[in-house]
C-alpha cells in the first residue's frame, strides 16, 4: 500500500493535539508530537527550557525524531498516516528564534517530502500556556508566519483548517484526505 504522510502543523496552542487525539479516537494512525517529550526529559535533568537554552541541541533531537517518524509513517498498512508536525517545523522554529543551523537541516527538508500539509492558525479563544509551552499568543502568531514561510519555501501547498469544534475540524481534514 502506498501510504501518504499527512502533516498537521501550526503554532503553539492551535488545537493540533486535540485533532490528533480525535483522529486516534477514530482509529487513524497518528505519530504524536515529540517536542513535549524532549522538553520533559530535559526538565527531569534540570533544564527548564532546552529549546531556549540550547536551541541547536534541542533541534537536533527533534530532527532525529521527526526523521524516524517520517520513515515509520510508511510502516503501517493504511492509506495515510498523520504526523503532529513535520521536519520543516524544526527549521521554522529555529528561524523564529534567529538560531543559525547547519545545512543538514535544510537538506532534511529538501529530501523528506510529505504528501499533504494542514496548518492551523492561531486562535485566541483556545490558546493556553502550560509547563512545556512558553510562548504567548503574539509569539504564536509570529511562529505561525514562520511555519507558513518555511513550508512554502520547500514547495508545500498549505491547507488551512477552519476554526470550529474539534470534531468538525477533524471531519474537514478527513474529507480532504479521503479524496486524495
Q: Which residues contact 52 (CB under 8 A, 6 or more apart)?
A: 97, 134
Q: Report residue 80 as a C-alpha cell.
A: 495515510
159: β partners:
118
- Where in the sequence is the domain holding 128, given as residue range(s)? 4-177
Instruction: Supply the pLDDT for residue 137.
Output: 79
Instruction: Supply the pLDDT for residue 37.
Output: 79
Whole-model pTM: value is 0.90
Instruction: Supply the pLDDT for residue 39.
Output: 77
What distance in Å separates the CA atoms of residue 37 and residue 27, rounded to the nearest whole number?
Answer: 23
Report which of 5, 174, 173 is spatially closest to residue 73, judged by C-alpha positions.
Answer: 5
How many domains does the structure of the chain reveal? 1
Q: What is the CATH number of the domain that holds 13?
A: 3.40.50.300
Helix residue ranges per DSSP H, 26-165: 35-44, 50-53, 55-72, 87-97, 103-111, 137-153
Q: How far is CA 7 from the centre of its chain?
A: 7
Per-residue pLDDT of the chain (180 residues; tens, 9 = 90+): 689 999 999 988 899 989 999 999 999 999 988 887 777 777 787 767 777 677 788 888 889 899 999 999 999 999 999 999 999 999 999 999 898 999 999 999 999 999 999 999 998 777 566 555 567 778 889 999 999 999 999 999 999 999 999 999 999 999 999 988
Amino acid at each position: 500500500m502506498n501510504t501518504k504522510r499527512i502533516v498537521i502543523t501550526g503554532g503553539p496552542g492551535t488545537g493540533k493535539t486535540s485533532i490528533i487525539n480525535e483522529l486516534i479516537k477514530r482509529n487513524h494512525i497518528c505519530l504524536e508530537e515529540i517536542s513535549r517529550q524532549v522538553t520533559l526529559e530535559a526538565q527531569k535533568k534540570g533544564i527548564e527550557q532546552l529549546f531556549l537554552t540550547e536551541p541547536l541541541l534541542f533541534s537536533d533531537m527533534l530532527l532525529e525524531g521527526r526523521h524516524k517518524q517520517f520513515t515509520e509513517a510508511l510502516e503501517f498498512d493504511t492509506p495515510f498516516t498523520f504526523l503532529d508536525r513535520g521536519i520543516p517545523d524544526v527549521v521554522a522554529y529555529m528561524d523564529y528564534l534567529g538560531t543559525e543551523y547547519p545545512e543538514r537541516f535544510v537538506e532534511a527538508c529538501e529530501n523528506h517530502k510529505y504528501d499533504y500539509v494542514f496548518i492551523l492558525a492561531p486562535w485566541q479563544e483556545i490558546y493556553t500556556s502550560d509547563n512545556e509551552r512558553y510562548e504567548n499568543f503574539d509569539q504564536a502568531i509570529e511562529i505561525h508566519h514562520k511555519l507558513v514561510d518555511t513550508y512554502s519555501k520547500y514547495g508545500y501547498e498549505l491547507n488551512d483548517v477552519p476554526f470550529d469544534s474539534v470534531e468538525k475540524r477533524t471531519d474537514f481534514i478527513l474529507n480532504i484526505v479521503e479524496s486524495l
